[in-house]
Amino acid sequence: MEAHSEHHIVPKRVYFLVFFALIALTWVTAIVSTVDLGRWNIFVALAIAIVKASLVILFFMHVKYSTRLTKFIVMCGFFWLMLLLFITMADLWTRSWMGVPGR
C-alpha cells in the first residue's frame, strides 16, 4: 500500500483566515437579508451558506488534506442529500405548472 503524505498539520494562520471569512459572510448574509432582492434573497442566502459550509468542511474538517477515499465518501453524502431534496422538490415545484387536477 502506498504511503500517502504523513500526518498534515494545518498552519494556525489558515484557521484564522477561514474564521474571519466565516464571520464576515455571516454578517454580510444577515445584512443582505434586509434588502429586498425579490426571489433572489433565497439564492443569495443559500449560496453564502454553501460557501461557509464548504470552508468548514475543507479546512476545519481537514477534508482538503484527506485521502481521496475520504473526499469521495463526503461527496457521496452530499450528493445523496441533493437527490433527496431536488427530486422531491422537482415534483412539488412543477405540479402547478400543468394545471392538472389533483395538485
Partner 1 sequence: MDSPVAVVPEIENPSALQHHFETPEQQKDSATIGMWAFLLTEIMFFGGLFLAYFAYRQAYPLAFASASNKTNLWIGATNTTVLICSSLTMALGVHFAALGKRKLLALFLVLTLLLGGVFLGVKAYEYHDKWVHHEVPGVHFDCEGCVDAQHAPLFFSLYFGMTGLHAAHMVIGVFVLLVLIWQAWHGKFTADWYTPIENFGLYWHFVDIVWIFLFPLLYLIDRSGRGLS
Binding site for partner 1 (CB under 8 A): 1, 3-4, 6-7, 9-10, 12, 15-16, 19, 22-23, 26-27, 29-30, 33-37, 41-42, 45-46, 48-49, 52-53, 56-57, 59-61, 66-67, 69-70, 73-74, 76-78, 80-81, 84-85, 88-89, 92-93
Cell of 57: 468542511
Q: What are the residues whose beta carbons fall under 8 Å from the beta carbon of 70, sequence distance 6 or more?
A: 63
Q: In angstroms, rounded to a whole number, what is the distance separating the alpha carbons of residues 71 and 95?
A: 36
**Min CB(57)–partner 1 separation in Å:** 7
